[in-house]
Amino acid sequence: MTDHRKLLRAIFDAAVAAAHPDSILAALLPPAPKGRVICLAAGKGAAAMAAAAERHYLDASNLDPARLIGIATTRHGHGVPTRRIKVIEAGHPVPDEAGLKGADESLKLAGTAGADDLLLVLLTGGGSANWIAPVDGVSFAQKQQVNRALLRSGAPIGEVNTVRKHLSRIKGGRLARAGRRAEIVTLAVSDVPRDESSAIASGPTVPDPTTLADARALVAKYDLKLDDAVTRALSDPANESCKPGDAVFARARFDIIARPRASLDAAVKIARDAGYEVLDLGADLEGEARDVAADHAKIALDARAAGRKLAILSGGELTVTVRGNGRGGPNQEYALSLASKLKDTPDISALAADTDGADGGAGSATDPAGVIIDARTFAAMRAQNLDAAAYLANNDATAFFAATGDLLLTGPTLTNVNDIRVILVDRV
């Protein structure tokens, strides 16, 4: 009999490995310049990328260590040892003072870059929260309040970043403006639907197609209650982001080195090799987690009724509109919604997890990556008389799966290509 938990974890691990800096970055780094390599990294895999860059330039290329400097700002608990590049661990998803320091020091270091230098910018998901640099007139506390309001609103990450870009001195191309005298090469691990470059870490080195007017429209759409200083900032033309054609991008290049699609392909291969027919729903799914789960549960139940041995896989980034006061990210909420629909089907199992190793949570390295559910879950629900619908109403998936023993705890994976969701349907 197949160990479904072992197989589900193997599928998840394959997706993560396909996007890990240790295996993909070195071959894509540009040659050392005449001057310095100034490495600025942000996001959940920032320290891992910085360490990989150090190995390439210092060990493989024998660059004089004095010519390599930089700062990597990453999520708390995601740091790794480095030699020349300073690591700052900062808040995510809600920014903190360390992120403020990381962004400020990064902007200042970019400003020292000269014509013979290479400004190497390494980005992974989480960079938007890690690099926090409020525009003039907006305090750090007010920027934090904006982030919290956006996260609770249920807005998709693209809309969240549209607002954040117009309240920042580093996002929306402004890091490129600071380092414009140097050659700028950005290498990014994509965590956004359709791999939109301006959305990864809120596009610090690329043109921004969104506007202040777009940001104001989103504030109105979600009825966000913001301080007057924030409202004024979103009406100030000086806070408009950098647009296509701006001279600051004349020597700037942007490449995506790992994509959600490639990770989903790696996951699909493992499922197919295990003998499953595969239904690939794509790497760019968005929507309310509980609603998407309900749709996927119907597909699984229909496949079961038809006697199919089917693996349903998807990527992307779902959202949660917070109605209760519980804990749990979009993958846990998706799994909780699934569990409520599939509780009487022991031949269906599933995994929903964030490839960075942390699904929602409070920003701790010990936050769960997601959840695995199977017949054991359904038995625990019956034994403990757990009402999945009640927990779902309170957005309290973490407590529910802590009770069933099904939280997936991986620790930081040091990369991020969004979520991997897998449902395995076995023949009855």
> What CATH number is given to the structural domain containing 75?
3.40.50.10180
In whole angstroms, give the CA distance from residue 30 to residue 120. Answer: 9
| pLDDT tens-place string over residues 379-414 | 999 999 999 999 999 999 999 999 999 999 999 999
Closest-CA residue to 44 (of 102, 92, 1, 111): 92
Q: Look at residue 226 and tell me if it is in a domain.
A: no
CB-neighbour burial class of residue 61 (10 A; exposed 0-12, middle 13-18, buried 19+):
middle
Question: What is the Cα gyration radius of the chain?
Answer: 22
The pTM score is 0.89
Q: Look at residue 154 and tell me if it is in a domain.
A: no
In whole angstroms, give the CA distance from residue 353 to residue 9. Answer: 10
Same domain, residue pair 189 and 107: yes
Q: What is the pLDDT of residue 2?
A: 64
**Interacting residues of 217 by C-beta distance below 8 A, sequence separation 6+:** none
Same domain, residue pair 73 and 201: yes
| Residue 1 reports pLDDT greater than 80 | no
| Residue 20 reports pLDDT greater than 80 | yes
| pLDDT tens-place string over residues 24-49 | 999 999 999 999 999 999 999 999 99
Same domain, residue pair 308 and 397: yes
Mean pLDDT of the region 174-198: 94
Same domain, residue pair 268 and 296: yes
CA angle 43, 286, 324 (to 5 degrees): 85
Same domain, residue pair 246 and 278: no
Angle between helices 375-384 and 397-404 (to 10 degrees): 100
Identify the residue whose tokens are 């003039």.
Answer: 136
In whole angstroms, give the CA distance from residue 197 to residue 205. Answer: 9
Would you place residue 118 in the very low, low, confident or very high pLDDT band (cuts 50, 70, 90)? Answer: very high
Same domain, residue pair 8 and 61: no
Mean pLDDT of the region 94-103: 93
Domain count along the chain: 2
The CATH number of the domain where 357 resides is what? Answer: 3.40.1480.10
Q: What is the pLDDT of residue 152?
A: 86
Name which of 7-16, 231-240, 315-324, 382-391 the model is least confident about.
Answer: 315-324
Residue 278 · residue 268 · CB < 8 Å: yes
Q: Look at residue 348 and tell me if it is in a domain.
A: yes
Q: Can you give the residue range of the structural domain that contains 398?
A: 4-13+261-425
Same domain, residue pair 200 and 321: no
Q: Look at residue 223 and tell me if it is in a domain.
A: no
Would you place residue 232 in the very low, low, confident or very high pLDDT band (cuts 50, 70, 90)? Answer: very high
Same domain, residue pair 189 and 312: no
Same domain, residue pair 177 and 299: no
In whole angstroms, give the CA distance from residue 283 to residue 317. Answer: 9
Q: Look at residue 391 and tell me if it is in a domain.
A: yes
Same domain, residue pair 30 and 51: yes
Same domain, residue pair 380 and 278: yes
Phi first, then psi: what are they for 105, rounded to 5°?
-65, -35
Q: What is the pLDDT of residue 230?
A: 97
Phi first, then psi: what are they for 351, rounded to 5°?
-130, 140
Q: Look at residue 212 and tell me if it is in a domain.
A: no
Q: Tokens at residue 343, please? A: 């509780």
Q: Look at residue 419 and tell me if it is in a domain.
A: yes
Same domain, residue pair 312 and 179: no
Q: Look at residue 228 and tell me if it is in a domain.
A: no
**Interacting residues of 53 by C-beta distance below 8 A, sequence separation 6+:** 25, 29, 37, 39, 85, 120, 122
